[in-house]
Amino acid sequence: MSRRDYENDPHAPAANSLVPAASAVVVDDSGRVLLQRRRDNDMWALPGGVMEIGESLPDCAVRVSICFLARPLGGRLAVSEESTDVRWFEPGEIDALPMVPSIRKRLNDWCNGNMPATR
């Protein structure tokens, strides 16, 4: 089943659950941003994940970021069961990538120096 994010959509179905999660902008020494291509919607997204019981939002963001950074194998990043691709992108390449509006907002916050941003 594909995932759909609803934001400011008056026709969105009523919410039936709440899943706290965090994502993080991970930048390497060259200024490139780490993104994953999600398996559920084929869109590019920040590393992120669901919070665990007793975990704070910042702790969750750090944990999920470390999971992605701990995946390099032989100099290459490896995809997870939730992604089809994981890559580093130059900031100027990001605008052309398909992504949901909520992820684009987070990246725009980072580009504009508005960090940390919580949404």
β-bridge pairing 44-45 and 83-89: unpaired
Cα–Cα distance for residue pair 75/102, rounded to 1 Å: 30
H helix runs in the chain, sequence order: 57-69, 101-111
Q: Tell me, what's the pLDDT at 104?
A: 92
Q: Tell me, what's the pLDDT at 63?
A: 81
Q: CA torsion angle for 8, 95, 107, 44 (degrees, to 10)? A: 80
Q: Tell me, what's the pLDDT at 52?
A: 93
Beta-bridged to residue 48, according to DSSP, are 23
Q: Tell me, what's the pLDDT at 54?
A: 93
- In Å, how far are 63, 85, 112 from 39, measured between CA atoms? 20, 9, 28
Per residue of the chain (119 residues), give pLDDT as tens. Answer: 456 777 778 898 988 888 888 888 888 888 899 999 999 899 999 988 889 999 988 888 888 776 666 454 455 677 778 889 989 999 999 999 999 988 998 899 888 887 665 55
DSSP conformation class of 74: T
CATH number at 21-91:
3.90.79.10
